[in-house]
Chains A and B, each alone.
Chain A
């Protein structure tokens, strides 16, 4: 099985004195998670044995590759024409039909998975609500859809921030954009104003302008029956 770490130390001592001198950066970076109780057996073993640590890294990497796997159609690549230019028979009926709308809400689509969507030249409406792996990098890939895309929804995507929203200005045909409920955006109200200025002909749904504003001492929180702020 795994050789215990102690014998590895005797053979090649890991010299750690210097890390103390450099401001203990490893301490600064290490979070409280190191001291939390109830650590799993795997974590405990990973601390003791190099091989288990490698196994744990491997498992983490497998989790990521599972997402990559999900971005392939049913375990195979997307159906494409073979060398002779023929599709497989199932798709013959649907070949000429352009795809106008894609609803990928909640899907584990990621950067590589968007390859398949970007080939759809007539796509008008794309819904990516609550996709956990859609981030700023994915948004920067959407520019090939600029001539056709009219509606885009990013509501609830945990990884999208205002930096990714900045590259939506390529989508000059966009008419409806939903950016509500983006937890990674630092100032939602300000971001919405800036996005509206960036895309003048687009209707931006999402954050309220007043969201994130701190109320001054003279302003009381309004009743629900009162008029909503303009």
Chain B
């Protein structure tokens, strides 16, 4: 009613949309005055966030149904699927808390961007298959009216995994599992490998598995921005701040077997604003831990792991920061356009980058040589000592190459079994995890987001059953070990 009176009073005819209006605002206020007045009135009315003394628009709302800690690809994917699968439209208020809006240390954007189905755990293959489907139809999923379509620059060149004599049997088993789930992988002998890729030195290679379809690499930044744009248009709220505290209450309850457990429920999340001591307590019903490499710290804030070791209360979330280096080099005689994402038995990997004979690659260090994750400085000696020799041995053309640049990023490394943690915590019952993917989080993000959203909204997994990825496996000791980790 108020709006109609304002409209009648200030009718100016249909003109271009005013700047500064929020999405879907009236086009009748060319200079934004109308929407300012409207916003002021709405914030004064009950339910608004107006503080008459000073501007509080940078603070998160005082309450939110779901708070997602971490605004990387996993956090945004969970936000997207929560909004997409919620039953009445606009039923759930979702808040994404991200402390670094430039994503300067986020694993998502520092990633090499590969996606493959060549895993040994069937759930991982299913997650990747759905994610590649999502990426192929990204413009149907993430379409926003009036915005240009996304181009994630997908290179469908496939992954080529090489195995030595020892690993050949494991590779054959893996390929069998992958084919059962629907991945298109073919096995190649060294002879076939030489025919197809003459630049490979097949010494020491007994078997190779090559992904024919649905594998390759893409631009993770574009996916992140696409998700961000879409979730903003769906009404997800963003806040630039850091979660410093959880306020929870606990109840002593008896399990079915008569054992007494301390069940916790998080009631408030304290979000500290960047470069300030100010914080806002946000009342919430559900907290999603998608903080990537820092998920372990966020879990500790919620009291996960504080208890006698060996009990469920004392089981920490085993996700740690691990630093990984990526090097970009130029080799004019190197392999051509057909180069897939090659993974050597030694753990060294590389892929083509662009058309100019540039290549990206690296290697996972062993446990003893793990670099200090305190900063993101690059160790160039690591390339000389650990990456270059196996590369040059596998691809003789790489004996002459020149490193153009390098960067470092974090893995949200799950020290238990290097696979993701998904689903609620058994004791802190309203904290859900979507983290710990140890280097393959980006490629499984769309599917994991959907799984977590199903868990939150329905209470169980509906499409892909990820019960083996629940937190309780850390207590019961059932490892979901993956044999193919870069």
Contacts and interface: CB of A to CB of B under 8 A. Distances in A.
B228 A25 contact: yes
Contacts of A5: 24
A47 to B, nearest CB: 5
Best-surrounded residue of B3, B59, B225 (most CB of chain A within 10 A): B3
A34 B61 CA distance: 28
B27 A47 contact: yes
A136 B101 contact: no
Interface in B223-250: 225, 228-229, 232-233, 235, 237-240
Given A6-B2, A26-B23, A165 B213 contact: no
B16 A36 contact: yes
Interface in B326-365: 336-338, 352, 355
B220 interface: no
B2 A18 contact: no
B145 A57 contact: yes
A93 B197 CA distance: 44
B149 to A, nearest CB: 11
B355 A26 contact: no
A18 B58 contact: yes
Contacts of B232: 19, 25-26
Nearest to B102: A23
Contacts of B93: 12
A29 B16 contact: no
Best-surrounded residue of A4, A34, A195 (most CB of chain B within 10 A): A34
A211 B93 CA distance: 53
A205 B24 CA distance: 49
Nearest to B39: A16
A4 B4 CA distance: 10
Contacts of A30: 146-147
Contact of A163 (B16, B61, B155): B155
A50 B213 CA distance: 39
B307 interface: no
Interface in A22-69: 22-23, 25-26, 29-31, 33-37, 39, 43-44, 46-48, 50, 53, 56-57, 60-61, 64
Contact of A166 (B26, B146, B338): B338
A18 B238 contact: yes
B337 A44 contact: no
Best-surrounded residue of A8, A10, A198 (most CB of chain B within 10 A): A10
Contact of B145 (A21, A56, A139, A197): A56
Contact of B140 (A44, A61, A140): A61
A111 B132 CA distance: 13
B276 interface: no
Interface stretch (B45-53, B285-293, B380-388): B45-53
Interface string A55-87: 011001100100000000000000000000000
Nearest to B2: A6
A203 to B, nearest CB: 17
A6 B37 CA distance: 13
Contact of A137 (B153, B154, B237, B336): B154
B90 interface: yes
Interface in A1-19: 4-6, 8-10, 12-19
Interface string B152-185: 0111111000000000000000000000000000
B213 A15 contact: no
Contacts of A26: 23, 229, 232-233
Contact of A29 (B49, B140, B225, B238): B225
B153 A163 contact: yes
A111 B49 contact: no
Where chain B touches its partner, the secondary structure class is loop
B470 to A, nearest CB: 32
Contacts of A137: 136, 154, 156
B337 A195 contact: yes
B147 A29 contact: yes
B463 interface: no
A158 to B, nearest CB: 12
B397 interface: no
A64 B49 CA distance: 41
B309 interface: no
A163 B196 CA distance: 18
Interface stretch (A97-105, A119-127, A186-194, A215-223): A186-194
Given A47-B24, A53-B145, A21 B136 contact: no
B65 to A, nearest CB: 11
A35 B16 contact: yes
Given A9-B42, A17-B59, A50-B89, 5 more contacts: A15-B237, A29-B229, A46-B145, A47-B17, A187-B355
20 contacts: A13-B43, A13-B48, A14-B235, A16-B22, A17-B49, A18-B57, A20-B57, A21-B238, A26-B229, A29-B147, A31-B146, A47-B27, A61-B140, A143-B213, A166-B157, A166-B338, A167-B157, A167-B338, A186-B355, A195-B337
Interface of B: 2-3, 14, 16-17, 22-27, 42-43, 45, 47-49, 56-61, 89-90, 93, 101, 136, 140, 143, 145-148, 153-158, 196, 212-214, 216, 225, 228-229, 232-233, 235, 237-240, 336-338, 352, 355
Interface of A: 4-6, 8-10, 12-23, 25-26, 29-31, 33-37, 39, 43-44, 46-48, 50, 53, 56-57, 60-61, 64, 111, 136-137, 139-141, 143, 161-167, 169-170, 186-187, 190-191, 194-195, 197-198
